[in-house]
C-alpha cells in the first residue's frame, strides 16, 4: 500500500522530532510514528488477519484499534461477528480504544443480542465514548437477566460519572444483591458533585 502524501509528511516530521532535545517530545513522536507507520502496513495486517492463527488474529485486531482508518474500523467491525469469543472480545476492546463513532454504532447494535461475555465487554468500553446514546444503552442493561451484565452497567455508570445516574445507583445500593450494592456504593463516589 502506498502511503498517502499527507501521512508521509507527518512521518517525515515525526522522524525529525525523534532528535528533539526534549525527551517528552521524542517519546510522543515515537508513539505517533508507530501508529502512522502501521498505516503503511495495513495491507499486511489485513492479510495476517485473514490468514493468521488465532493468536496472530488477536494481535492484528489490537493493531487495528490503534490505526484511525476506515479499513481498520471495518476490519474490527467484521471481527465483531466472529464466532470466537476471544476474537470478538479483542475487537470490542480495540473499537473502544479507537473511540470511532462507526465502532460505537456497531457496538450498540451488537449489545442487546450477544452473549454475556461480549455484553460485559461492550458495557466496559462504552464510557469511553462521548455520545448521548451511551447512557441509555448502559441503563437498559440494568434490566438484563445476568447479574454479571447488570454489575458491569453499574460500574460503567460510575466511570461515566454524570450526576443524572444517581437514581439508578441509589436503587441498586438499596435493593440490589451484595455484589451490586458494592459496585453502586463505589460508583456513587465517582459521580460529579
Q: Could you read off the pLDDT of 126-170 as tens digits, one per residue? A: 999 999 999 999 999 999 999 999 999 999 999 999 999 999 999
Q: Is the pLDDT of residue 72 over 90?
A: no
> 19-31 pLDDT, tens per residue?
999 999 999 988 8
| 7 conformational bin, left if phi > 0, alpha if psi -120 to 50, beta if neither | alpha
Averaged confidence pLDDT in the chain: 89
Does the pLDDT value for residue 109 go beyond 90? yes
Among residues 124, 116, 171, 122, which one has the least CA distance to residue 147?
116
Q: Does the pTM exceed 0.95?
A: no
pLDDT at 149: 97
Q: Are 116 and 147 in contact (CB under 8 A)?
A: no
The alpha carbon of residue 77 and the mean position of all alpha carbons in its chain are separated, in whole angstroms, by 12
Domain range annotation of the chain: 1-40
Amino acid at each position: 500500500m502506498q502511503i498517502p502524501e499527507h501521512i508521509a509528511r507527518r512521518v517525515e516530521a515525526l522522524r525529525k522530532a525523534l532528535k528533539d532535545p526534549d525527551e517528552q517530545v521524542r517519546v510522543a513522536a515515537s508513539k505517533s510514528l508507530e501508529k502512522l507507520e502501521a498505516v503503511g502496513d495495513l495491507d499486511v495486517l489485513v492479510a495476517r488477519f485473514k490468514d493468521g492463527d488465532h493468536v496472530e488474529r488477536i494481535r492484528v485486531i489490537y493493531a487495528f484499534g490503534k490505526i484511525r482508518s476506515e479499513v481498520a474500523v471495518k476490519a474490527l467491525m467484521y471481527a465483531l461477528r466472529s464466532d470466537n469469543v476471544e476474537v470478538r472480545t479483542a475487537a470490542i476492546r480495540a473499537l473502544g480504544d479507537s473511540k470511532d463513532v462507526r465502532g460505537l454504532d456497531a457496538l450498540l447494535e451488537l449489545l442487546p443480542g450477544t452473549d454475556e461475555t461480549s455484553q460485559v465487554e461492550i458495557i466496559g468500553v462504552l464510557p469511553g465514548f462521548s455520545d448521548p446514546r451511551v447512557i441509555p444503552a448502559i441503563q437498559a442493561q440494568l434490566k438484563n437477566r445476568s447479574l454479571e451484565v447488570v454489575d458491569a452497567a453499574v460500574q460503567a455508570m460510575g466511570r461515566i460519572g454524570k450526576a443524572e445516574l444517581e437514581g439508578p445507583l441509589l436503587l441498586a445500593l438499596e435493593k440490589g444483591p451484595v455484589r451490586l450494592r458494592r459496585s453502586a456504593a463505589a460508583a456513587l463516589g465517582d459521580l460529579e458533585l
